[in-house]
C-alpha cells in the first residue's frame, strides 16, 4: 500500500510530466524513434532496483521506491497521451518524421545503464548486508557539570549481534548491548535490544531501550561511529537528560577527560561543549 500523501503523488506526477516532455522533445529533435520507450524502461528498471533494496535498507528505499512507482506509472500514462497528441498533430499537418535507424546509440545507452544499475544494486546489497558485531570496550561512567568532576567509575560495554549499515548513514543493530559497572549490570537476556541508529545534527544517534517482559526501559541515547568502535551513552533511565548535569558513559576511555572528549566528539549537543 502506497504511504505517500496526495501532495507527494501530485509532485511526482509533475516530475513524470517534465521527464516525458523532455524525452519526447529529444525523440523528435534527434529523430530517435523509441527514445521515449527507452526512458520508460530505464525508469521502471530503477523502480525495480529500489524495490529489491527495500529488503536490505528499508529506511532509505521504502519511500523512494514508492515515489518512483508513482513516477513510472504516471510516465507511462503521460507518454501515451503525448504520443497520441503528436501523432494526431502530424496527421493533421500531413507531415512525417524521417526517423534515424540508430541501433548502436540505443544499445550503448541500454548497456551503460544496465552496468550502472547492476553495479549500484550489487554495491548496495554488499554495503547493507548484515554483519556480525562483537565489540568489547573499557569505558568511563561520569556526570557532567563543573561540580561533578570527582565522580568517574569504570564500566565495560559489550556490543554483540547483527549490524546492518544504511546507505543513508547509521544502521540497524539487533543483539545484546551489555553494560557492567558500579551500580549497573545489564547482561544476558536483559541486554537484548534493537537499535535504529540515525544520522542527524546531533551525530549518529539511536535510542537504547531494553525490554523486560512487557515493560520497555529506556536507558538513554546512544551515539556511535565506525561499527560501534567508539560509543557514548547519554544515560537518562526513563527520565530526562540535560547537558548541565546529565550522566554519560563513554568507551573506549580510561579517564573522565578521555570520556568527556569522546562525548563531545560523538554527540555535538546543539553546539554546547560538555564539561
- pLDDT for residue 203: 65
51 pLDDT band, cuts 50/70/90, is: very high
3-state SS class at 255: coil
For the chain, give the percent of residues with pLDDT over 90: 44
Lowest mean pLDDT segment, chosen from 52-56, 138-142, 188-192, 209-213: 209-213
Residue with cell 547493507: 128
In Å, how far are 56, 59, 157, 162, 207 from 175, measured between CA atoms?
18, 19, 13, 6, 14
- pLDDT for residue 171: 87
Distance CA 125, CA 148 (A): 47
Lowest mean pLDDT segment, chosen from 10-14, 85-89, 99-103, 142-146: 99-103
Distance CA 61, CA 125 (A): 12
Q: Over 80: is that where the pLDDT of 238 sits?
A: no
Per-residue pLDDT tens over the stretch 25-35: 998 888 888 88
Average pLDDT, the chain: 87
Per-residue pLDDT tens over the stretch 213-232: 567 788 888 888 878 899 99
- pLDDT for residue 271: 60
241 pLDDT band, cuts 50/70/90, is: confident
Q: Is the pTM of this model over 0.95?
A: no
244 pLDDT band, cuts 50/70/90, is: confident
Distance CA 115, CA 111 (A): 6
Amino acid at each position: 500500500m502506497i504511504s505517500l500523501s496526495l501532495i507527494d503523488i501530485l509532485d511526482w506526477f509533475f516530475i513524470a510530466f517534465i521527464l516525458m516532455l523532455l524525452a519526447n522533445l529529444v525523440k523528435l529533435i534527434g529523430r530517435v524513434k523509441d527514445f521515449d520507450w527507452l526512458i520508460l524502461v530505464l525508469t521502471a528498471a530503477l523502480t525495480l532496483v529500489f524495490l529489491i533494496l527495500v529488503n536490505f535498507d528499508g529506511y532509505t528505499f521504502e519511500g523512494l521506491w514508492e515515489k518512483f512507482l508513482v513516477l513510472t506509472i504516471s510516465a507511462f500514462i503521460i507518454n501515451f497521451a503525448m504520443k497520441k497528441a503528436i501523432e494526431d498533430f502530424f496527421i493533421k499537418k500531413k507531415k512525417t518524421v524521417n526517423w534515424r535507424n540508430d541501433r548502436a546509440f540505443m544499445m550503448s545507452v541500454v548497456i551503460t545503464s544496465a552496468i550502472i544499475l547492476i553495479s549500484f544494486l550489487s554495491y548496495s546489497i554488499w554495503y547493507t548486508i548484515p554483519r556480525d558485531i562483537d565489540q568489547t570496550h573499557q569505558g568511563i561512567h561520569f556526570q557532567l557539570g563543573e561540580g561533578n568532576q570527582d565522580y568517574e567509575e569504570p564500566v565495560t560495554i559489550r556490543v554483540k549481534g547483527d549490524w546492518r549499515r544504511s546507505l543513508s548513514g547509521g544502521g540497524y543493530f539487533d543483539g545484546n548491548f551489555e553494560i557492567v559497572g558500579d551500580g549497573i549490570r545489564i547482561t544476558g537476556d536483559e541486554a537484548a535490544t534493537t537499535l535504529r541508529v540515525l544520522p542527524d545534527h546531533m551525530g549518529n544517534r539511536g535510542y537504547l531501550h531494553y525490554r523486560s517482559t512487557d515493560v520497555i526501559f529506556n536507558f538513554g541515547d546512544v551515539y556511535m561511529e565506525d561499527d560501534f568502535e567508539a560509543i557514548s551513552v547519554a544515560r537518562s533511565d526513563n527520565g530526562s537528560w540535560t547537558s548541565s548535569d546529565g550522566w554519560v558513559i563513554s568507551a573506549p576511555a580510561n579517564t573522565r577527560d578521555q570520556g568527556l572528549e569522546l562525548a563531545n566528539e560523538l554527540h555535538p549537543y546543539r553546539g554546547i561543549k560538555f564539561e
